[in-house]
A and B are shown apart, each in its own frame.
Chain A
Amino acid sequence: MNSGNGTNNNRSRRLAVNAAVALLALFLLIIPNFVSLAAREILVLIATFALLALGLNIVVGFAGLLDLGYIAFYATGAYTWGILSGAGPIRLPFTGTEFWGEWGFWIILLVVLGINMCIGVMLGSPTLRLRGDYLAIVTLGFGEIVRIVANNLDNVTGAALGISRIPHPKIPFIGYDFGLNPLPYYYLLLLLLALGITVIRRLDHSRIGRAWIAIREDEVAAGAMGVSTFKMKLLAFAIGATTAGVAGVVFASKSNFVSPASFDVFASFLVLCAVVLGGMGSIPGSLAGAVVIVGVPSFLQLRFPQLDEYRYWMFGIILVSMMIFRPQGLIPSKRREAELMLEGDPDIPSEATT
C-alpha cells in the first residue's frame, strides 16, 4: 500500500468517525423526548454513571491503579453540595442558600472540583506509594472509611438518616428551577460528559497521558525514563476524584437526598465493572460499559419487574462470559487491543487482523 493511499484511508475513516459521533450526539440529544418518564430517569442514571466511569477509567484504565474505593469521591461531592446548600444539620456562616444565592449550585460545582482534588491528593499521598494488590486493599479501606464517617457524623452528615431536602439547581436570571424533572439533569450531564471527554482526550494525547500508560506498562522503566511516577499517579487519582465529585453534586441535587447507603462498596464495584466491561483505557468503552451495567438492567426491570431478583446473577454471567470471550472489553482502546491480540505478523495492518 503506498503512503498516499494510506492518508486517504485515514482521512475517510476520520470523516466516518466524526459523522458517527455527530449522529450519536444528535441521538442522545433528542432521545429523551420520545421515551416515558421512567425511561428518562434511567437515562439520568446512565449519564451519572457514565461520568463516574469516565473518571475511574483514568485511574484504572490509563494509570493502571486498581482503586476499589472510588465511590468515596462521589460521596464527598454529594455531601459537599448537601452540606453547603444548608440542607444538612450543620449551620455555618457559609452554608445555606442565603449565602450562596441562586448561583449556589454552579459555584459549588466549581468548589467541589477544588475540594475533591484536595481529598484525592490527601487519600492518594499515602496510598499511591503502594503497588498492585496492596493499593487495591487500601483504597477499599479508604472507601469504607468515608462511608462509615458519613454514617456516624450525626452533626455534619446526618448519619444514617442522611441529608434530605437538598435544593435543586436553578438557572439564574430566567429563574428556571430544575425541580424533579429528569430532563434538565440529563442535558446538564451530557454537557459535563462532553466537557470531561474533551479534557481527558487532550490529557491522553499529551505527555501526561503517555506518562500514565508508561506507568501502567512498567513503573520502573517509566521512572528510569524521567517520569515522576508518584506525581503522575497522584494526578490521575485527583482527576478521577474531581470527576466523581461533579457526578456526586448532580446526583445529590437530582435526588435531593443523600445517605451513606448510596455509597457502599458495591457501588465502587459497579463502576469498576463498567470500566472493565467497556475496555480499560478506552473512553468510548467506559461510556458503553456504563450503558450496559446500568442501562440494560434498569430497562429490563422496567419491562420485567419480576427479573429484578436475578439482577446480580445475570451480571455475573455477563461478566464471566465477557472475560472469556472478549477480555479486551466492548470497545477496547487501540493500544490494549494490540496487547491482547495473539502474536501476529507485524507487517499485517491492524484492520486485517480485527
Chain B
Amino acid sequence: MSDYLLEASKVTKVFGGLTAVREVDLTIRAGEIRGLIGPNGAGKTTFFNCITGVYKPDGGQVRLEGSRLNGLKPHRITKAGVARTFQQIRLFAEMTSLENVQVGMDAKHRAGAISAIFNLPRHRRENEEGSVEGLRFLRFVGIERYANEPSRNLSYGDQRRLEIARALGTRPKLLLLDEPAAGMNPREKEGLMDLIRKIRDSGVTVLLIEHDMKVVMGVCERVAVLDHGEKIAEGAPEELQRDPRVIEAYLGRGAAEDAAGA
C-alpha cells in the first residue's frame, strides 16, 4: 500500500510547555539520501529520537514499510530495520571496534543463553559469522586495521565511522545519521560523503541530520528544514537555498528581505 520506506505523519513531541516537534510530516522513499536541517534547537534530534523510540511521540504516527513503529521499544525498532548514530558519540568504549560491530550484528542473531552455555551449533555459527561479517563492515567504513583496538582509542573521525559500522551491523533498511560530520576536518568530510553514497548504493536508505551545508548539499537529493519544531520547507537543496523562509530561519528576517529584494 505504501510507496514509501518511512512515513512519519504529524509527529509531535512536547516537553512541559515546550513543543519540541510539532506535527512534522516526513516521507522517504527507499534508496534516497534525505537531509534534515535546521538551526540549533529546531527539533531535529528530538525527531530522530521519536522515530527510534528513545522518546515516545505525543502525537502522530511513524511507519516503516507500512507497519507502525511508534510505541515500540528502541530495540524492537532497531530489529524492524531502523538504525542510528548519535550526535554525541556513544560507542561501547571498553569494547574493541569489532565487538562494537558485533553487538549491532547480534540484533539479527537468535542464539540464547542455553545455546551459548552448551556451545550449540547455532551459537558457534552466529559467533563465527559475527566476526567475519563484522570485519567486513569495518572494512566498508575503512577502519578494519583497528578491529582489535578498544574503541575509545580511535580518533574522533574513526569513532564516527565505527558508529556507522555498528549501526550498519544491525542490517537496517533506514540509517539515521545524527551530525556525522561534526568535528571532522575537510578531508574527513569528503571521505564521509563518499561513505554515505556508498551506504546508499549498498541498498540502505539514509536520513541525515547535518549542520555542514557542504555535506548536505553534496549528498542529499532532497532536504527537509525544521525550525522551532515545525517543518518549514522541503525540496531540492538548490531550491531551498533561495527559499526566503529557510533564509529567515537561519539568518533572520532582514536577511530574508534582502535576499528577496536582490
A residues whose Cβ falls under 8 Å from a Cβ of B: 199, 202-203, 205-211, 213-214, 217-218, 220-229, 235, 239, 335-336, 338-339, 344, 346
Distance in angstroms from A87 CB to nearest chain B CB is 33
* A221:B75 contact, CB within 8 angstroms: no
In the complex, which range does the number of interface residues on chain B fall in? Answer: 35 or more
* Chain B residue with the shortest CB-CB distance to A340: B94
Contact of A227 among B83, B95, B106, B115 (CB under 8 A): B106
* B150:A227 contact, CB within 8 angstroms: no
Residue pairs across A and B with Cβ atoms less than 8 A apart, 29 shown, are A202-B116, A202-B117, A203-B113, A203-B116, A206-B111, A207-B103, A207-B127, A210-B95, A210-B99, A210-B102, A210-B106, A211-B103, A211-B106, A214-B92, A220-B74, A222-B92, A224-B83, A225-B75, A225-B106, A227-B75, A228-B73, A235-B113, A239-B113, A335-B95, A336-B94, A338-B94, A338-B153, A339-B94, A339-B152
Set of chain B residues within 8 Å of A205, measured between Cβ atoms: 116, 127
- Complex alpha-carbon distance, A218 and B91, angstroms: 8
Set of chain A residues within 8 Å of B240, measured between Cβ atoms: none
Q: Tell me, yes or no, whether B149 is within 8 Å of chain A by CB.
A: yes
Q: Tell me, yes or no, whether B243 is within 8 Å of chain A by CB.
A: no
* B94:A220 contact, CB within 8 angstroms: no
Which of A205, A208, A214, A220 has most B Cβ within 10 Å?
Answer: A214
* Chain A residue with the shortest CB-CB distance to B52: A224
- Complex alpha-carbon distance, A260 and B127, angstroms: 44
- Chain B 127-156 interface residues, beta-carbon cutoff 8 Å to A: 127, 130, 146, 149-150, 152-154
Chain B facing A: main interface SS:
helix
Set of chain A residues within 8 Å of B79, measured between Cβ atoms: 226
What 4 A-B pairs are tightest by C-beta distance, nearest first?
Answer: A226-B107, A206-B116, A346-B153, A226-B78
B residues whose Cβ falls under 8 Å from a Cβ of A: 52-54, 73-75, 78-79, 83-84, 86, 90-95, 99, 102-104, 106-109, 111-113, 115-117, 119, 123, 126-127, 130, 146, 149-150, 152-154, 166-167, 169-170
* Chain B residue with the shortest CB-CB distance to A227: B75
